[in-house]
Amino acid sequence: MRREIILLVGIKLIALFILYQLFFAPVRPPAPDSAAITAHLLDNSIP
């Protein structure tokens, strides 16, 4: 009985994580863009 509850909770957590990734990941700026921006700023700061 306890094992089934753990499985259900795990499935719910995974589903929530996937929904979070789908809805909230696009809101954050992706990492490569910020990396490109910092590289661009560093290139410009070097005389």
**Segment 1-47, tens digit of pLDDT:** 789 999 999 999 999 998 888 877 666 655 566 677 777 777 777 66
Query: 28 lies in which domain range?
Result: 2-45
Model pTM score: 0.44
pLDDT at res. 29: 58
Tokens 């929530």 appear where? 16
Length of the chain (residues): 47
Phi, psi at 46, each rounded to 5°? -80, 120
- Number of domains observed in the structure of the chain: 1
